[in-house]
Amino acid sequence: MATKNPKPGSSDQPITLRRGEGGEPHQQASRKRGDDRSGVLTTNHGVAVSDNQNSLKAGPRGPVLLEDFHLREKIFHFDHERIPERIVHARGSGAHGYFECTEAIPELSRASLFAEKGKRTEVFTRFSTVAGSKGSKDTPRDVRGFAVKFYTDEGNWDLVGNNIPVFFIQDAIKFPDLIHAVKPEADRMFPQAASAHDTFWDFVSLLPESTHMLTWLMSDFTLPRSYRTMQGFGVHTFRLVNAEGESTFVKFHWRPRQGTQSTLWDEAVKISGADPDFHRRDLWEAIQAGDFPEWDFAIQAFDLETAQSLPFDVLDATKLIPEELVPLRVIGRMVLDRWPDNFFAETEQVAFLPHNVVPGIDFTNDPLLQGRLFSYLDTQKSRLGTTNFFQIPVNQPKCPFANLNRDGMMQTQIPTGRANYEPNSLGEAGEDAGPREDPEGGFTSFRGTGEDNDASEKLRIRPESFADHFSQARMMFASQTEIEQAHMASAFVFELSKVELEHVRTRMLSQLRNVDEGLAQRVADGLAMPLPKAAPAAAPTLDLDPSDKLSIVKQGDPPLKGRKVGVLFDEGSDKAALDALREGIEEAGGTAFFVAPKVGELKLKGGTMKAHGQLAGSPSVLFDAVACAIMPEQAKKLAQDGAALQWFMDAYGHCKTIGYCPATKEFILDKLDLAIDAGLVPNAEFLGIAPARHWDREPKVRLLA
């Protein structure tokens, strides 16, 4: 006999949560109405759910009823779980932590987070690539975002920067053109997360102000080893304001206590295949292991007199101030010690706004910064709606209109061609170059002289002090070591080899002649192209003093602390030798990651051991240094394994330290004809030099421009 429903209003009937007909109990909740309902599944509106396994039906085999509000709410919410990704910086990861003031600066700023030594402020930091979509890889050649939200007691301060101290453009009006140019080409939607294509190089070759940034983009700084080993910069010149209202110019810097470190291009490509989440995973693993990433927070503070004495304009975002001229002053540190509880709710939904400042921090007239103050607020709103409201008939102009604004939700027009940025020279290739500005007939603003006691004029103009586009690019190249200069030249060759428009390659070579004749010639030779005349420069190019701080190699070998060392072994290996390697690596602050052909329990001489990773799935590109401890029989076997040979060849080719045992040398390294050098050492000497790069090796293993 069927059980009757409880009498309405009865307070002593249990609520039973169950599975579907014939199933086992899902959860027995014998709570009475009015009792604590913690743990009870409810709708979004707080109504307890009695069955989360079955839809409400008209009979056991009847149709589903529309009145099933739980079903409709659950499916409705699922259908709308996703929000539009960020236009730039879509691919990223973040973590919680704290900022600690290590030197109070009340003489410079009234901001409370800088008022007291030892004061801690909670932060959330997000790292990101710029060009790729949310589903792209972690390791492309790209600028990285470095955004920090300080939850101060005076409100939120968002320091939204990059891992490069300068930027491509001087005025925010060119930002849409820059991003249109670097994103996948509009008519084919590739390449993804890459600048090695026509439209990007067409644009920057027409924009000399980008040249300094290009030397950074083609440097090893855009191939970071991890988020933890990235520098961060506020990019712009800001102001600090003290309690008396006195202003000081300032640039903000983050310096990783783990040391600055990069990958090689070949290494980055292989990492993206082995683990496209490499940077995200590295940050997560470090925090889970308690090896919390740390950065020093430093400022370059200077007055108006210093600013006016520099051979460039401090409001120009394509310029940096060498530390030799204005030294860094460390005033704090940041520690990231907690992973988000929910990636979407925190990392995806965090909204950074450069206009979020607190008393004591203010803006300058940097035109790129001024544009960002508008853009970030607007872009956050765009993730919830559409920019194409003007395409609704009642809003649509009745006269012809044409511009280079593109895409967005509810796009009803179908723009053709790939010219969605300006300037461009696609017309020289017979393509539609798109609409152009009209200096004679276009709208011009009233200059507004002298009104409201304001004698300034409103002008669309750039100061002459912004006209030097090449001096700091020349300084950047001159500051690199020979191997870094070779990397930069090779990077230019690779990127420009992907450019199909020959006139774009030629124009870019003419710009490079203003940076360094040798660099331009090497790139031209790598492309098998004649070297064109140098492009005219808007201002004299100066020979600035090189800065060692602009070179990764000149900053010295990184410490082993926080690094991962791959150790290859196999059945029959000497456990004592493996334990010695592990202990030595861990004593130096590193992590030993053991790799074997099999991941199960392996019998060793003196015990057993499980591998952390299987050989084919743990290539040497994942590690900062490698070592191997095997017996002769295992060495002979591995010498026939392509994955094992590639493991050593890649480590050698990427100039890493390789520790070896006698059997490894005899049966594998000698077979591969790997010449012994300072980075190819017996295991007993291995820990003394890991994880340095051995650049003398590189000319032996690859051709560089």
640 Cβ contact partners less than 8 Å away, ≥ 6 residues apart: none
On whether residue 100 sits in a domain, the answer given is yes
pLDDT tens per residue across span 265-283: 999 999 999 999 999 999 9
Give yes or no: residues 38 and 158 share one domain: no
On whether residue 322 sits in a domain, the answer given is yes
Q: What is the mean pLDDT of the segment spanning 382-411?
A: 65
In this prediction, residue 24 has a pLDDT band, given cuts at 50, 70 and 90, of very low
Q: Where is the domain boundary, 35, 58, 81?
A: 81
Which pLDDT score is estimated for 378?
79
Instruction: Give the chain's largest Cα–Cα span.
Output: 98
Strands annotated E in 164-237? 232-233
- Counting residues of the chain whose pLDDT is more than 70, the rounded percentage is 90
Give yes or no: residues 75 and 105 share one domain: no
Tokens of 316: 């120009």
Give the CATH number of the domain where residue 42 resides: 4.10.91.20
| Average pLDDT over the chain, rounded to an integer | 89
Q: What is the mean pLDDT of the segment spanning 21-34?
A: 42
Tokens of 18: 């169950």
Give the residues across from 232 on adjacent strands.
254
Give yes or no: residues 126 and 253 share one domain: yes
In this prediction, residue 37 has a pLDDT band, given cuts at 50, 70 and 90, of low
CA distance 277 to 272: 8
Q: What is the mean pLDDT of the segment spanning 360-367?
A: 91
Q: Which residues are marked as active site?
A: 89, 162
* Residue 30 pLDDT exceeds 70: no
In this prediction, residue 456 has a pLDDT band, given cuts at 50, 70 and 90, of low
pLDDT tens per residue across span 135-183: 999 999 999 999 999 999 888 899 999 999 999 999 998 999 999 999 9
Which pLDDT score is estimated for 448?
57
Look at 123-132, 393-402, 506-515, 528-537 and tell me which has the smallest mean pLDDT. 393-402
* Residue 43 pLDDT exceeds 60: yes
* Residue 132 pLDDT exceeds 60: yes
Look at 378-382, 502-506, 565-569 and tell me which has the smallest mean pLDDT. 378-382
Q: What is the 3-state secondary structure (H, E, C) of 592-658?
A: EEEEECCCCEEEEECEEEECCEEHHHCCHHHCCEEEECCCHHHHHHHCCCHHHHHHHHHHHHCCCCE
Q: Where is the domain boundary, 382, 417, 433?
A: 382
* Residue 464 pLDDT exceeds 70: yes
On whether residue 226 sits in a domain, the answer given is no
Q: What is the mean pLDDT of the segment spanning 306-331?
A: 97
* Residue 691 pLDDT exceeds 50: yes
Give yes or no: residues 342 and 249 share one domain: yes
Q: Tell me how far the alpha carbon of residue 28 is from its chain's centroid.
A: 48
Q: What is the mean pLDDT of the segment spanning 42-46?
A: 87
On whether residue 501 sits in a domain, the answer given is no
373 Cβ contact partners less than 8 Å away, ≥ 6 residues apart: 354, 355, 363
pLDDT tens per residue across span 210-221: 999 999 999 999
Give yes or no: residues 19 and 159 share one domain: no
Q: Where is the domain boundary, 331, 364, 382?
A: 382
Look at 56-65, 76-85, 444-453, 680-689 and tell me which has the smallest mean pLDDT. 444-453
DSSP string, 439-465: TTTS-------SGGG----------GG
C-beta of residue 466 within 8 angstroms of C-beta of residue 313: yes
DSSP string, 330-346: EEEEEEEEE--S-HIII
Q: Tell me how far the alpha carbon of residue 405 is from its chain's centroid.
A: 26
Q: Which domain holds residue 116?
A: 92-166+232-382
Give yes or no: residues 115 and 66 share one domain: no
Which pLDDT score is estimated for 76?
82
On whether residue 518 sits in a domain, the answer given is no
Token look-up 């409400």 returns 56
112 Cβ contact partners less than 8 Å away, ≥ 6 residues apart: 119, 152, 153, 154, 358, 360
pTM of the predicted model, to two decimals?
0.83
| Sheet with 564-568, edge to edge strand ranges | 613-614, 591-596, 564-568, 625-628, 658-660, 680-682
Give yes or no: residues 14 and 156 share one domain: no
Q: What is the mean pLDDT of the segment spanning 484-497?
A: 98
Q: How many structural domains are present in the chain?
A: 3
- The two beta strands, 247-256 and 144-152, are unpaired
Give the CATH number of the domain where residue 375 resides: 2.40.180.10
For residues 648 and 43, which has the higher predicted lDDT (pLDDT)? 648
